[in-house]
């Protein structure tokens, strides 16, 4: 059964490592839903968080292939574990009118989003949270006219080593 898997790949910070990882998955026909690469507390070490829709068998193959890369330190599929935290970040521009402004601002308060910019015909807001929270926020703002948004993709951290 195809499911969403979140894979955390810890790698040595080398030029082209993200391209090698994404190329490895693309060569084998796997589609990456999102990929985030960022430095850790050690500037020589990067964490790459991949979200892939695949079967458990294919994820096992992916993790084996990722472990074979020379710069790979550790690969963890955290999808079926209880002790991990997943978040996403979004910046969103939504249209407003004098009639809808209060309602949109109420939604922003309910979701504990942060208003970044306010103009007469639109506002820009940021929100961090679980993917489902981000999805609900988008759905509730659609009737007001979303002009644009940018999502980070999922990033994750285990609660243990």
Structural domain ending residue among the three candidates 41, 59, 77: 77
Q: What is the CATH number of the domain that holds 58?
A: 3.30.70.260
For the segment 74-113, what is each residue's pLDDT rounded down to a tens digit? 999 987 666 788 899 999 999 999 999 999 999 999 999 9
For the segment 99-148, what is each residue's pLDDT rounded down to a tens digit? 999 999 999 999 999 999 999 999 999 999 999 999 999 999 999 999 99
Structural domain ending residue among the three candidates 77, 105, 122: 77
Structural domain ending residue among the three candidates 11, 45, 77: 77
Beta sheet of 3-12, edge-to-edge order: 32-39, 45-54, 3-12, 72-77
pTM: 0.79
Expressed as residue numbers, the domain containing 130 is 84-158
């Amino acid at each position: 059964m195809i499911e969403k898997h979140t894979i955390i790949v810890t790698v040595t910070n080398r030029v082209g490592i993200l391209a090698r990882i994404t190329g490895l998955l693309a060569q084998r026909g796997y589609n990456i839903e999102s990929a985030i690469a960022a430095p850790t507390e050690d500037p020589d070490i990067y964490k790459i968080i991949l979200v892939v829709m695949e079967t458990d068998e294919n994820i096992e193959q992916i993790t084996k292939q990722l472990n074979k890369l020379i710069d790979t330190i550790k690969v963890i599929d955290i999808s079926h574990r209880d002790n991990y935290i997943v978040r996403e970040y979004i910046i969103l521009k939504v249209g407003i009118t004098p009639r809808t402004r209060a309602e949109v601002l109420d939604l922003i308060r309910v979701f504990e989003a942060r208003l970044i910019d306010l103009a007469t015909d639109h506002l820009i807001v940021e929100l961090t949270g679980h993917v489902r929270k981000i999805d609900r926020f988008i759905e509730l703002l659609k009737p007001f006219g979303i002009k644009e948004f940018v999502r980070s993709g999922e990033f994750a951290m285990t609660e243990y080593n």
